[in-house]
Amino acid sequence: MAGSDSRPYRDISYPGEPGIGERARAPFLPDNDTTRWLFALNRKGIRPGLRRIRGLLEDLGHPERSYRILVTAGTNGKGSTTRLLARLLQDAGYRTACFTSPHLLEVYERLTLDDRPVAPDLFCRTAESLRSSVERHEASWFETLTATALAVAREAGVEVFCCETGLGGRLDASNALPQTAFLLTGVSLDHQHILGGTVEEIAAEKLGLLKPDAPLFAGVSPALRGQVFAAAVAADSPCHFLDELACWEDRGGDWDLTTRRRVFAGLPDLQPPVMRRNAALALLCLDELDAAGVLDLPPDPAASLRDAFLPGRFQLVLREPDFLVDTAHNAEALELALVAFLDRPCAGRRIVLFGGLADKDPGDGAGRLLARADAILAAPISLPRSRNPVQLKSLMDQWGLTDHNGLDVHDDLAAVLKTLADSVSPQDSILVCGSCFLVAEALHALGYASLEDTRRVREAGPVLAVLRDGESS
């Protein structure tokens, strides 16, 4: 049955989020007593199940019933799709909340209200009001954050809550929420030790989010459509497949999306190219909800997409040389990010700064693509679960990159950035990828204190000067 937690996972709990600890290095640190308490909850690990979150929501008087909720799941693309939905709905005139994970520089960025991070005092005050309930239900870090976000949204007068699932779906905290619609971007291999060893098993976990009468909008591959359709029928959920109900055409940079009801013309060139699928899925969902009289489309969807803030998604943060950051960390996402980077115009060298967690399988395709880069700089993340230099060297050897002329494995990220500051030219391009935590640490080292600071692309020269010799930027 959709939404049931009667079928347990293989184990009771799993390690918590890697970047959440009480004694980590910046930027993985709490910033006050409340966030220190919240971070300490991560020691409980990931404990799939709905009992605890349901208890929290009942104690709160069910804030999730105060607004419409759109839930997005998928191995890749769920965060960006959630952000695109929120931007489109904000521009349609709704007071909109967007809840995504993980965060990069500050925990407050996980919840935005009309595209701006929640105020720290409101977030912390709401979290503190939950403390006794959290202790009574023995709630996890993510469950507590979810309940806090829902309570803040109610207090802030939110009309639509756009929510990214945490992990899987069936036993994720987001499955305790009612749905106006459910979006499934796609399914590939990740978190196999929790969700299952095959794409079909992982899909089944995500399809556990299906709810009666809540429409499903799916961008899954053809191989999974039969499974998805059968699950939707069993759950009494109307099913809409992106590739059956929409098509798009390139217009020399801009692109047009055609659904069965309208043409969305002149949509902006989102990067990497896969982002068009995420935007198309979001627009298809709102197109159908608009036709049903549930939610309105914005007056200018192209402008909404152009104004959308997608941090960590092939994001340009420095210019000349260009620094791009991408949180891709599994095989599918890494290949997409690397292809986009290698295809991006560049008059100088293409340099990839790579790192990752030891329990993540980056696949073999990433290695074949890295071989085309002019330089590969690898470094560990300042977290216990990171691949260390020995493991990074072993991975490069596995990928056949040991003899790559541009390969250099460093002991820490600071050494890599110092090397770059000393050697890059304004014509070069650098991509930071392999883990959202590598992106977070790189942004911090480049001088960004909050994600909001990355909305404006900075000139690289002054930033590199600080890294090189400590000059004031």
Q: Please classify residue 374 by burial: count the beta carbons closer than 10 Å to its beta carbon, then call 0-12 exposed, 13-18 middle and 19+ buried.
A: middle
Give the pLDDT band (50/70/90) at residue 318. very high
- Residue 22, pLDDT score: 67
Looking at residues 114-118, what average pLDDT do you find? 97
Contacts for 31 with CB less than 8 Å, ≥ 6 apart: 106, 120
Does the pLDDT at position 10 exceed 80? no
Domains and CATH numbers, the chain: 33-307 (3.40.1190.10), 315-469 (3.90.190.20)
Q: What is the rounded distance in angstroms from the CA atom of residue 452 to the CA atom of residue 101?
A: 16
Confidence of residue 6 (pLDDT cuts 50, 70, 90): very low
Contact 376, 382 (CB under 8 A): no
Q: Which residues neighbour 245 within 8 Å (Cβ) at sequence distance 6 or greater?
A: 259, 260, 284
**Per-residue pLDDT at 11:** 42
Pairing mode of beta strands 246-251, 239-241: unpaired
Angle at 233 between CA 228 and CA 236, to 5 degrees: 125
Over residues 156-182, mean pLDDT: 95
Residue type at position 310: L
pLDDT at 45 over 90: no
For the segment 197-203, the average pLDDT, to the nearest whole number, is 90
Put simply, whether the predicted model's pTM sits higher than 0.85 gets the answer yes
Using alpha carbons, list the distances in angstroms from residue 456 to 311, 320, 360, 382, 428.
11, 14, 31, 26, 20
- 234-257 pLDDT, tens digit per residue, is 999 999 999 999 999 998 889 999
Residues 271-299: tens digit of each pLDDT: 888 899 999 999 999 999 999 999 999 99
- Using the predicted structure, report yes or no on whether residue 207 has a pLDDT greater than 90: yes
Token pair 């560990």 in the structure block, residue: 380
SS3 per-residue string spanning 43-90: HHCECCCCHHHHHHHHHCCCHHHCCEEEEEECCCCHHHHHHHHHHHHH
